[in-house]
Structure 1
């Protein structure tokens, strides 16, 4: 669903790699992933490569770099 935090592992293609961010659902059924600045960092990602990390529930979550203790 649009607004959910996701992880996408894309094995090949223009957007190959691992992406974390907020998802936007397209009419075609594929997904766009937006970074913490709100810009699209990966477009047209197939549903098979996307895994939901946090569902959008109306609460604001920080998007930053995790630090190891």
Structure 2
């Protein structure tokens, strides 16, 4: 932005852009609609995301070495290490289950246990997996990652103009 250009103080510009392009209200499409667009001149958004990366803060665990009771007194001792059999909670792993009810290949986030039977959270639910059947894909960085589909622009309808509702 140069010194000659005046700063825009217009409120509702993303709404007007979404309304002119007949887009629904999603955070992704709202971010694409920010800024001045000349609809009469032919400005339009030509590419829309099919899927959106969703990042969730999951943390890196607790430093506490005891579990307090309801009065705050220490009752249980927690293990000293956060890693068991080379894995830590939050690692992204691929599990190859050779046989049984859950036979197949599963990918997801694990919660480690000291005995080596870790808990894998996959899209279909939770299952227990031995550390021998795991392959590390990514070390835990304190975030959980997932992908969700974004609404397609062709299936989106006209948005309601909030300025015509008596305000």
TM-score by length of 1: 0.72
- Picking from 140, 156, 161, the partner of 1:56 is 140
Q: Whole-Å Cα distance in 1 between the matches of residues 118 and 105 of structure 2? A: 14
**Structure with greater strand percent:** 1
RMSD of aligned C-alpha atoms? 2.1
Cα offset, 1:62, TM superposition? 2.5
What does 1:1-69 correspond to in 2, within 5 Å?
1-36=88-123, 39-40=125-126, 42-43=127-128, 45-58=129-142, 60-64=143-147
Runs of at least 5 residues in structure 2 that lack an aligned partner in the other structure: 1-87, 149-167
**Which runs of structure 1 show a deviation greater than 4 angstroms over 4 or more consecutive aligned residues?**
none
> Which one has the largest radius of gyration?
2
Higher-RCO chain (CA-CA 8 Å, sequence separation at least 6): 1
Task: Give how far 1:55 is off.
Answer: 0.3
Change in CA separation of 1:54 and 1:28 when aligned onto 2, cut-off 3 Å = same
Structure 1: which 5+ residue stretches go unaligned?
A: none
TM-aligned CA deviation for residue 36 of structure 1: 5.0
Task: State the TM-score, normalizing by the size of structure 2.
Answer: 0.33
The answer to whether the 8 Å contact 1:36/1:64 transfers is no
Higher helix share: 2
